[in-house]
């Protein structure tokens, strides 16, 4: 697939010496553009950093915190900066890098970003923004906010002084690549802005199904426990024996504990013939992507046979590894199993970043801005979207986010 005209214009800015903020609505091809930008670049000089451990495992990158030596920011900003600068490996990799790329920037708080910027300046001995290191931020603030249970409101990165200091050149992708239905795109944009007018209501009502309907689709829930219980309940409704496949781990604590918490695969994969599963890796040959659905048709020691839901093609899936990297890009822990999870239920947070073939969403009682938008935008086509329930109160957008993105559009 070739770059669109606006993606080519974005690539030109990415190839400049500027700091860049790459954004756009879900499905506009941000990841696709970054893939083109990185294809001939050295990961040591252009490291890709993810805002969370789970995201890092999926993109094969490092976490933002590990690269800058932030830990959990214990002791506050000053102590964190001192600790990082005492670590020669942290200083060495910051000096070696020419540019850093940070995915899902919306999930990093302003104070976290400011702490990393100060470390960069001191490590590189420069008062320039980020010590002269290029910073490429990627993401959409209309999606899920940074998590901080002690903060009274989301600490969006763009609200911090470090955002203004970074002097980002915005690249705003507008053309939706994930869907070709203009009405669906328009409805998504309204939800993204927290608008639930008659048009949105009519659409959501048109996609609502009866609770007892038993569609082969992934249900998105707000809470993890609900999703896990639903998965096991639906699996046990199937006839036949369960097959338990333990994930093989390698590495030492505390990396191992972190990996077990963030890996997209369970510690024990429980399957049956006929089970609905989600693939959690992208296939290098393009047969499936992270989020593809299928039914298990065969279970062998070396492979699992899966009939893909969207194409009907049957594939033989082998085991793969998910690796946790330290700040230098070295593997500190790995988890090896078939890259599958039961797909009857998942959470909205886990679904961010994935494109899911067929989806049933519970929009009954969401509490966070961006949740409804993230959930609805996981599918390519509205024909593959169903609602178990929904409420106007679940359609929310942060006023500060709306104003920020409006300023970029202007």
The verdict on 112 and 243 lying in the same domain is: no
Q: Are 203 and 189 in contact (CB under 8 A)?
A: no
| Domain finish residue from 335, 357, 379 | 357
Q: How confident is the model at residue 327 (pLDDT cuts 50, 70, 90)?
A: low
The verdict on 236 and 300 lying in the same domain is: yes
pLDDT reading at 209 higher than 90: no
Q: Are 370 and 396 in contact (CB under 8 A)?
A: yes
Both tokens of 32, joined, read 């696709």
406 CB-side CA count, 13 A: 9
The verdict on 153 and 43 lying in the same domain is: yes
> Domain range spanning residue 223?
216-357
Q: Are 195 and 395 in contact (CB under 8 A)?
A: yes
pLDDT reading at 301 higher than 80: yes
In CATH, what number is assigned to the domain containing residue 161?
Answer: 3.40.50.300
Mean pLDDT of 15-38: 89
Rounded to whole angstroms, the Cα distance separating 315 from 383 reads 25
The pLDDT assigned to 206 comes to 93
DSSP state of 180: -
Mean pLDDT of 359-376: 88
Q: Are 142 and 158 in contact (CB under 8 A)?
A: no
The pLDDT assigned to 307 comes to 94
pLDDT reading at 321 higher than 90: no
Q: Is residue 383 part of a domain?
A: no
Q: How confident is the model at residue 30 (pLDDT cuts 50, 70, 90)?
A: confident
Q: How confident is the model at residue 149 (pLDDT cuts 50, 70, 90)?
A: low
Q: Is residue 86 part of a domain?
A: yes
The verdict on 149 and 270 lying in the same domain is: no
The verdict on 61 and 148 lying in the same domain is: yes
Q: Are 12 and 37 in contact (CB under 8 A)?
A: no
Q: Is residue 311 part of a domain?
A: yes
| Structural domain count, the chain | 2
The verdict on 9 and 66 lying in the same domain is: yes
CA distances, 397 to each of 48, 67, 145, 160, 205 (Å): 28, 31, 11, 19, 20
- What's the whole-number average pLDDT of the chain? 87
Mean pLDDT of 378-405: 90
Q: How confident is the model at residue 144 (pLDDT cuts 50, 70, 90)?
A: confident
Mean pLDDT of 103-126: 93
Q: Are 371 and 191 in contact (CB under 8 A)?
A: no
pLDDT tens for residues 54-79?
Answer: 666 556 667 888 889 887 677 778 88
The verdict on 150 and 264 lying in the same domain is: no
Q: Is residue 392 part of a domain?
A: no
The pLDDT assigned to 21 comes to 97
Q: Is residue 274 part of a domain?
A: yes
The verdict on 36 and 121 lying in the same domain is: yes
Q: Is residue 187 part of a domain?
A: no
The verdict on 143 and 243 lying in the same domain is: no
The pLDDT assigned to 44 comes to 87
Q: β-strand 359-363 against 304-308: which pairing, if any?
A: unpaired
Q: Are 102 and 136 in contact (CB under 8 A)?
A: yes
The pLDDT assigned to 174 comes to 85
The verdict on 55 and 106 lying in the same domain is: yes
Q: Is residue 148 part of a domain?
A: yes
Considering only residues 192 and 281, tell me which one the structure prediction assigns the higher pLDDT. Answer: 192
Rounded to whole angstroms, the Cα distance separating 358 from 295 reads 13
The verdict on 145 and 229 lying in the same domain is: no
The pLDDT assigned to 183 comes to 86
The verdict on 238 and 338 lying in the same domain is: yes
Q: Are 231 and 344 in contact (CB under 8 A)?
A: yes
pLDDT reading at 212 higher than 60: no
């Amino acid at each position: 697939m070739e770059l669109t005209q606006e993606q080519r214009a974005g690539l030109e800015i990415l190839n400049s010496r500027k700091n860049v903020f790459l954004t756009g609505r879900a499905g506009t091809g941000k990841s696709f553009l970054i893939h083109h930008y990185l294809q001939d670049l050295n990961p040591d000089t252009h490291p890709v950093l993810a805002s969370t451990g789970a995201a890092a495992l999926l993109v094969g990158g490092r976490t933002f915190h590990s690269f800058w030596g932030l830990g959990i920011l214990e002791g506050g900003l000053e102590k964190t900066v001192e600790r990082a600068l005492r670590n020669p490996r942290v200083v060495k990799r910051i000096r070696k890098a020419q540019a850093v790329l940070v995915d899902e920037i919306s999930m990093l708080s302003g104070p976290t970003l400011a702490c990393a910027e100060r470390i960069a300046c001191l490590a590189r001995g420069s008062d320039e923004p980020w010590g002269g290191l290029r910073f490429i931020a990627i993401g959409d603030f209309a999606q899920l906010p940074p998590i901080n249970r002690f903060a009274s409101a989301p600490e969006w990165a763009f609200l911090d002084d470090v955002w203004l200091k970074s002097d980002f050149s915005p690249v705003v992708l507008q053309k939706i690549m994930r869907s070709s239905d203009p009405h669906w795109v328009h409805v998504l944009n309204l939800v993204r802005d927290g608008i639930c007018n008659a048009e949105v209501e009519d659409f959501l009502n048109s996609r609502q199904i009866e609770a007892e309907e038993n569609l082969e689709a992934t249900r998105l829930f707000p809470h993890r426990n609900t999703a896990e219980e639903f998965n096991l309940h639906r699996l046990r409704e199937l006839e036949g024996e369960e097959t338990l496949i333990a994930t093989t781990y390698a590495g030492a604590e505390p990396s191992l504990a972190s990996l077990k918490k963030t890996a997209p695969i369970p510690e024990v994969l429980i399957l049956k013939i006929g089970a609905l599963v989600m693939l959690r890796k992208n296939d290098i040959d393009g047969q499936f992507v992270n989020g593809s659905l299928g039914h298990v048709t065969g279970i062998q020691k070396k492979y699992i046979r899966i009939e893909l839901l969207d194409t009907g093609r049957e594939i033989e899936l082998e085991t793969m590894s998910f690796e946790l990297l330290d700040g230098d890009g070295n593997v500190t822990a790995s988890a090896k199993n078939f890259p599958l999870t039961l797909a009857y239920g998942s959470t909205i947070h886990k679904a961010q970043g994935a494109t899911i073939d067929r989806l049933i969403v519970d929009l009954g009682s969401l509490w966070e801005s961006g949740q409804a938008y993230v959930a609805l935008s996981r599918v390519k086509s509205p024909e593959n979207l169903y609602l178990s329930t929904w409420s106007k109160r679940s359609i929310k957008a942060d006023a500060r986010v709306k104003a920020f993105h409006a300023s970029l559009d202007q």
